[in-house]
């Protein structure tokens, strides 16, 4: 059975995409920016899957190991009969460890901005877990969206937010997102979340500037997408990817740098670039268990369990709403 989903992202029949205002505002700012959610069209999602397989990108390798070793403990913490909602489901590979151990979940709801990617991953999950009700939703999880009601009343709602995506938000934005999750799960609800930890900057530099150039292609795909969907005029050969670590703010800052003086036009708006001027495309904040706990606490969550690797590169944390 094929899953049918729809999406409002992108451009159809010559119409400008619905994210255009956000793009124009970002490129008009004193420091030019592009929203990182635009990474995840079909090609961007595929490139990110390739990033996750790179030797330098420790996040997926360590998180997968934690899930393989501790998924049963995580499932016990979540409890039976839950409605599990995954933010940014992507290829839905990590959820399998949980679904293997969850006791009679009411339903699983994967949320993703890339409709094509979500269709493929959901079809595969339905074949592997025919006894689990799976209700995919194409949406930007930072905006309001509806979760389909499961046919069985859940014992509690739990959000699953794997990877290090929470780090893509500033601490203030992360706090707002966590508050939205708190409203989503309600009193007694839970949050199982991946949190990348503060570590040696050399490890971070290698992870975000890989030798094969996959992350560079992923970053440049933002401009490819804008050229295709918004009729932008970016010259891809004149921009280069570079990621650096900001020690003071404990975050990776990923940018596209202009290699020459140039301009690009989007929807009648012209944007000029000086040599060396950059477009900020992504933050990736790193936390200690204590610093993330403070942000979570402000949203009403309390940390119940933390699983991390021996080298303390990455953590999976289970939090509950008081």
Task: Spell out the domains of the chain, with CATH numbers in brackets.
Answer: 58-199+287-321 (3.40.50.150), 225-285 (no CATH)
How do residues 206-242 score in pLDDT, each as one tens digit? 999 999 999 999 999 999 999 999 999 999 999 999 9
Residues pairing with 241 in the sheet: 256
- Report the C-alpha gap between 161 and 204 in whole angstroms: 21
User: Among residues 266, 284, 279, 120, which one has the least CA distance to residue 209?
Assistant: 284
How do residues 142-163 score in pLDDT, each as one tens digit? 989 999 999 999 999 999 999 9
User: Among residues 55, 64, 57, which one has the least CA distance to residue 194?
Assistant: 64
Q: Long-range CB contacts (< 8 A, 24+ apart) of 212-219?
A: 212/54, 213/241, 214/47, 214/50, 214/51, 214/54, 215/51, 215/241, 215/243, 215/254, 216/240, 216/241, 217/47, 218/39, 218/44, 218/47, 218/48, 218/51, 219/39, 219/254, 219/256, 219/281, 219/282
Q: What is residue 4's predicted lDDT score, i.e. its pLDDT?
A: 31
Average pLDDT for 290-300: 96
Q: Are 285 and 194 in contact (CB under 8 A)?
A: no
Compute the mean pLDDT over every residue in the chain, rounded to the nearest whole number.
92
pLDDT-derived band at 63, boundaries 50, 70, 90? very high
Q: What is residue 7's predicted lDDT score, i.e. its pLDDT?
A: 34
Q: What is residue 92's predicted lDDT score, i.e. its pLDDT?
A: 77
Q: What is residue 14's predicted lDDT score, i.e. its pLDDT?
A: 55
At 274, phi and psi to the nearest 5? -85, 165
User: Among residues 212, 270, 199, 207, which one has the least CA distance to residue 58?
Assistant: 207
Helix ranges (H only) for 209-270 are: 214-230
Average pLDDT for 27-43: 93
Calculate helix-pair angle for 214-230, 42-51, nearest 10 degrees: 170
The residues near 139 (Cβ < 8 Å, ≥ 6 apart) are: 111, 112, 113, 145
* Whole-Å CA distances, 315 to 66, 117, 291, 303, 318: 8, 26, 13, 12, 10
User: Among residues 264, 275, 284, 283, which one has the least CA distance to residue 27?
Assistant: 264
How do residues 119-145 score in pLDDT, each as one tens digit? 899 999 999 999 999 999 999 999 899
How do residues 167-200 score in pLDDT, each as one tens digit? 999 999 999 999 999 999 999 999 999 999 999 9
pLDDT at 12 over 60: no
Q: Are 1 and 133 in contact (CB under 8 A)?
A: no
Q: Are 179 and 300 in contact (CB under 8 A)?
A: yes
pLDDT at 48 over 60: yes
Q: Are 318 and 78 in contact (CB under 8 A)?
A: yes
Q: Above pLDDT 70, what percent of the chain?
A: 95
Strand segments (E) across 102-226: 107-112, 137-138, 156-161, 190-196
Torsion, CA 211, CA 209, CA 310, CA 192, rounded to 10? -120
Note if the pTM is more than 0.75: yes
Residues pairing with 242 in the sheet: 255
Q: To which H or E segment does residue 282 belong?
A: strand 278-285
Per-residue tokens: 259: 């290699």
């Amino acid at each position: 059975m094929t899953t049918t989903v729809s999406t409002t992202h992108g451009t159809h029949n010559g119409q400008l995409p619905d994210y255009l205002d956000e793009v124009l505002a970002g490129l008009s700012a004193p420091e030019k920016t592009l929203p990182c959610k635009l990474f995840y069209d079909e090609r961007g999602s595929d490139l990110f899957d390739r990033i996750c397989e790179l030797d330098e990108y420790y996040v997926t390798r360590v998180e997968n190991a934690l899930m393989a070793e501790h998924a049963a403990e995580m499932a016990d913490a979540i409890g039976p009969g839950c409605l599990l909602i995954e933010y940014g489901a992507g290829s839905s590979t990590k959820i399998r460890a949980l679904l293997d151990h969850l006791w009679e979940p009411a339903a699983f709801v994967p949320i993703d901005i890339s409709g094509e990617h979500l269709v493929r991953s959901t079809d595969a999950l339905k074949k592997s877990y025919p006894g689990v009700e799976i209700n995919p939703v194409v949406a930007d999880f930072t905006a309001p969206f509806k979760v389909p009601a499961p046919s069985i009343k859940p014992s509690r709602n739990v959000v699953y937010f794997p990877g290090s995506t929470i780090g893509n938000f500033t601490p203030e934005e992360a706090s707002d997102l966590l508050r939205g999750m708190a409203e989503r799960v309600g009193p007694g609800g839970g949050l199982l979340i991946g949190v990348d930890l503060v570590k040696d900057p050399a490890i971070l530099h290698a992870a975000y500037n890989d030798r094969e150039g996959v992350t560079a292609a992923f970053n440049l795909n933002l401009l490819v997408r804008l050229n295709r969907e918004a009729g932008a005029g970016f010259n891809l050969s004149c921009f280069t990817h570079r990621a650096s670590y900001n020690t003071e703010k404990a975050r990776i800052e990923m940018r596209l740098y202009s290699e020459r003086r140039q301009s690009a036009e989007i929807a009648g708006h012209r944007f000029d670039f000086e040599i060396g001027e950059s477009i900020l495309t992504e933050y990736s904040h790193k936390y200690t268990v204590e610093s993330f706990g403070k942000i979570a606490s402000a949203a009403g969550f309390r940390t119940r369990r933390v699983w991390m690797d021996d080298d303390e590169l990455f953590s999976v944390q289970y939090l509950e709403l008081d």
